Chain A
Amino acid sequence: MGNKNNLYKPENYYVRVIKYAILQIIAAILIILWLMPLYALFVGALKSNIAAASTPALLPPSKPSGEAYYFVWHGFGGIYGLIGLEYPLIREILIDVPIAALATLLGAMGAYFFYMIMDRHYIWSTIGFAIISLATYLPVETTTVPLIQIVTSLHLYNTYYGVIIAYLMFYIPMAALLMSIFMPSIPKYLLEAAKIDGASDWRVFWKVMMPLLVPGFLSTFIFTFLQIWDNFFIPILLISNPQEMLLSVAVRQYAGGYAIIYNRSFAAGVVGSIVPLVIFIFLGRYFIRGLAALGGGAKGV
């Protein structure tokens, strides 16, 4: 270890400073590149129609204007046939929050069962795990024809119940998978001890499991919520009545076309993603933990 002193020689110090500066500069450039679409979104949405028609999207507006937001919020259906985003946003929140909570809770119960039978019934829990993984990762579009046949035969086409059934079909298994990945952090002897003391599964789940698993539960809930929010295919497949549109489909009306310049598209985009963005800014670590759970909670790495 005679060369340890070399680390603190002056030229070595400068080389390290320069290397560190290069590292920070590259990182900064990448961060700017990655944030550029978000910047364009917020800046562009604040432009007036005239400013949007005459300036490029990446320049900030000389005078901020709420014109575009006013337009997409109310929609002016009579003139342009566009549905405003006010009601789609409210509907989206009213459907997504309870469904995400329900899916997370029911999925957690399923995960609890698989976790408990793991040791005794290895084959069955493997099959269960395979099925919930398949449901998590399978493209939603594969269910197109059967789903619409199930939903129409139950007379639920163009109702939110059809959409909710479809969401539960995908997101209860997904929540069960994520919860299965968070659950092994709780030592099994705690659960076994409670069961030996005569507690029922229901009590063990609520009194032992859930209090210890609050962060995992919250991660699963937030991840599921954002997945449901992002879902575009189910609403476009199962709802054709413009008066019942959900947010992701309603936002798409503003993708371009008659009377749409980018300020209105971007304002629609802000309305479509403001809830996910706020959640990501304040509770981002829970979302990231949920994302990591998709890959085994990064436990295998």
Chain B
Amino acid sequence: MKNQGYLMVIPTLFFAGLLLVTVIWNVWLSFLNSSILVHKPKFVGLATYQYLFSQYFFKISTTHTIVFTIGLVAIGNVLGLLFAGLLYFIPNNVQRSLYLSVFIYPLAIASSTSALIWEWLLNPTIGVDWLLKLLHLPAPYWLGTSNMTLVSMIMIEVWAYTGLATLFYLASFMNVDKTVVEAARLDKAGGLKILFRILIPNSMNGFIISTALLFLFSFRIFTIPFVLGGSATSPTLMTYVMYVYNLFISEYFSASAAMAVIVTIIAAAVILPFAIFGLMKWVFKR
């Protein structure tokens, strides 16, 4: 038998199909009123969504998700660009890849570990505040107020995911024609001028990739707020994905499914164009 390719694709299709089944299952569940309070769930149409939109947690989780996502995409992109610019001008290859690894290592270690470290580092007496006070700098009360908690969370996300943006911007910069950069150098253009006039304008794809990935990584962040907040019930750290889990553990199954549908729609709106018009085109040169 020559076409064993069809057999070889079965596991991938089966498990990817199982995932699609869960997505469709969510849509179906979200039209019911299934919860711990209901003995025999029945079809209620969009009532679950109406219930969800009226919830306080839905409103704050919307705010937090927007704040975290915009915060990370904006800061991560800007820092990623600057870090990549910095690394680009480091002439030593070994040093450059070493530094790049340092920016990326937070992505490799377990996020439960990151959460443990930051929980203590943001402690008002023994963490970074101790160092800031020693240096006579303002020492904010990081996880003390709800606004500072958001700031802290964005800071942790920036620490964790800026390496991603740096990686893709550095790859774009490395792809810019070397002769153009050399010509600019001979015309006595400074490093900053080369960065802003030549490298950055030629890094559109790096921008698309890092924006899409920063958005998706921020959108799905779960472990760190979960550990920092003690569980998925903390109102100050509630995000969309946390709220899906929160509704599930409080046994509002249909509401949880409806929330999952909302998350899926938002994520898919970024993933599908990125995959089909970005990844596929670049990789397969179609």
Instruction: Assess whether A141 is in contact with B164, with CB atoms less than 8 Å apart.
Output: no
Neighbouring A residues of B15 by C-beta, 8 Å: 135, 168-169, 172-173
- Return chain B residues, CB-CB under 8 Å to A298: 167-168, 171-172, 209
A217 within 8 A of B: no
Whole-angstrom CA separation of A133 from B281 in the bound complex: 14
Q: How far is the CA of A41 from the CA of B123 in the complex (A)?
A: 14
What is the interface of chain A, defined by CB distance below 8 A to chain B?
A: 1, 3-4, 6-7, 19, 23-24, 26-27, 30-31, 34-38, 40-41, 44, 55-58, 106-107, 109-114, 116-118, 122, 126, 128-135, 137-150, 165, 168-170, 172-173, 176, 180-181, 184, 195, 200-202, 205, 226, 229-230, 232-233, 237, 247-249, 251-252, 254-256, 262, 265-266, 268-270, 272-273, 276-277, 279-280, 284-285, 287-288, 291-292, 294-301
- B241–chain A nearest beta-carbon distance, Å: 4
A27-B119 contact, Cβ under 8 Å, with A113-B8, A232-B111: no
Question: Given that A106-B12, A138-B267, A292-B171 are contacting pairs, would A146 and B22 also be in contact in the complex, using a CB cutoff of 8 Å?
Answer: yes
Q: How far is the CB of B112 from chain A (nearest CB, A)?
A: 5
Give every chain A residue within 8 A of B175 (Cβ-Cβ).
Answer: 301
* Contact flags B207-220 to A (C-beta < 8 A → 1, else 0): 00110110010011
Residue B36, interface by CB 8 Å: no
> Smallest CB-CB separation from A202: which chain B residue?
B4
The answer on a CB contact under 8 Å between A254 and B86 is no
Q: Is the interface of A mostly helix, strand, loop or mixed?
A: helix
> How far does the Cβ of B149 sit from chain A's closest Cβ, in whole Å?
15
Chain A residues lying within 8 Å of B141, measured Cβ to Cβ, are none
CB pair B127 A57 closer than 8 Å: yes
Q: Give the interface size bracket for B toward A.
A: 35 or more
B272 interface residue (CB < 8 Å to A): yes
Contact B12 A57 (CB under 8 A): no
Q: Please judge, given known A-B contacts A107-B12, A297-B283, whether A58 and B260 are in contact too, CB under 8 Å.
A: no
Interface contact B8-A146, CB-CB below 8 Å: no
B276 contact from A126, A138, A233, Cβ within 8 A: A126
CB-CB under 8 A for A1 and B186, given A232-B222, A266-B117: yes
B188, CB-defined interface residue at 8 Å: yes
CB atoms of A181 and B206 under 8 A apart = no
CA A251 to CA B116, docked complex, whole Å: 9
| Of B48-56, B69-77, B98-106, the one touching chain A | B98-106
Contact A135 B16 (CB under 8 A): yes
12 CB < 8 A contacts A-B: A4-B186, A111-B12, A131-B20, A138-B23, A141-B263, A147-B22, A172-B12, A173-B19, A233-B222, A280-B108, A285-B97, A294-B213
In the assembled complex, how far is the CB of residue B33 from the closest CB belonging to chain A, in whole angstroms? 13
Name the distance in Å between A73's Cβ and chain B's nearest Cβ: 16
Question: Taking the nearest CB of chain A, how far is it from the CB of B227, in angstroms?
Answer: 5
Collect the chain A residues with CB atoms within 8 Å of residue B117's CB: 37-38, 40-41, 266, 269
- Neighbouring A residues of B152 by C-beta, 8 Å: none
Contacts of A279 in B (CB 8 A): 108
B156 closest partner in A (C-beta):
A37
The residue on A at minimum CB distance from B111 is A230
Interface check B26, CB cutoff 8 A: yes
Closest Cβ–Cβ distance, residue B83 to chain A (whole Å): 7
Cβ-neighbour of B112 out of A26, A132, A237, A251 (below 8 A): A251
Q: Is B127 within 8 A of A56, CB to CB? A: yes
